[in-house]
Amino acid sequence: MTVQIDLSGRAALVIGGGGGGIGSAMLDAVARAGADVGIITFVPEHAATSVAHAESLGVRAAAVVLDVTDEATLVAGIAELAAQLGRFRHLVNVVGGSLADDWHRSAEYDMDAFDRLVGRNLRYAVVSCREVARELLAAGEEGSIVNLSSAAARGTPLLGAYGAAKAALESFGRTMALEWAPKGIRVNAVAPGTIRTPRAGTTDMADAAAQEIPLGRRGAPEDIANAALFLLSDLASYITGVTLAVDGGTTIGGRGGDGLPTFVTNPAVRARFGS
């Protein structure tokens, strides 16, 4: 028996779609499943290429370029895309992450970095979930939302603020799942482990660190997109309020010999923070 995910006749919003990595894989997966795709990106050149790619797969697509941490701008952007594509039945929040400049030991934490990471990983996602759900609730329609969390939500050296923001996103997601379940709106999360993306890059140390992952490799963006697509789809119609770890088994073990997480692959960073 062949199982095929079909989102045709629906519109999906991908915040952080395009530009390579998980966002591009997510955009591709949703479009291949037949959904019309709204794309929010902060990189102007990604907007046109992302729309062109989605349209090449036979679906409608539209994009806006904005700063997701600006609430008013984000709300307006979501409304603009919905006006073009119709009410969004599906939402994936991909934007997030933590750059090395924002990594700190807990006893030395910089609160400006903390605020930046909360805005980039938690606040915008709450706003987008709220906006999409409001429209679904008003129309009496069912839908599904997937937020990208992180293995760091369970506690990771150097990433206190990032991990806290992702843990809060998981918690808020469970609350939304409970509140909206009677109306048929599901909210889940995917927690990636170490993923091979253009931003993460490839180094000899990265490949060596991958051997600390139980499955012996870093994940591909498609690993995350496939998991998220499943949770978006009707195949997961009885699943809500969960966080699915897609990390090659890192949840059950996987830390470098110097005590740092396996995803810290930059030699200079490991030298800076290693014990």
Question: Token pair of 231, please?
Answer: 């949770």
State the DSSP H helix or E strand holding residue 191, giving kind and residue range, or none if neither: strand 185-192
Give the HSE-up count for residue 258: Cα atoms under 13 Å, Cβ half-sphere: 16
Rounded distance between C-alpha atoms, residue 120 and residue 165, angstroms: 9
Instruction: Report the candidate in 268, 238, 241, 274 with the shortest Cα–Cα distance to residue 255.
Output: 274
Looking at this protein, which amino acid is placed at residue 33? Answer: A
SS3 25: helix
Rounded distance between C-alpha atoms, residue 180 and residue 224, angstroms: 24
Q: Which of 109, 124, 162, 238 is catalytic?
A: 162
DSSP state letter for 183:
G
State the DSSP H helix or E strand holding residue 263, giving kind and residue range, or none if neither: none
Q: 59 and 36 in contact (C-beta within 8 Å)?
A: yes
Question: Whats the size of the chain, residue-wise?
Answer: 275
Give the HSE-up count for residue 136: Cα atoms under 13 Å, Cβ half-sphere: 25
Active site residue 162: yes
* CA R_g for the chain: 18
Q: Which residues are catalytic?
A: 162
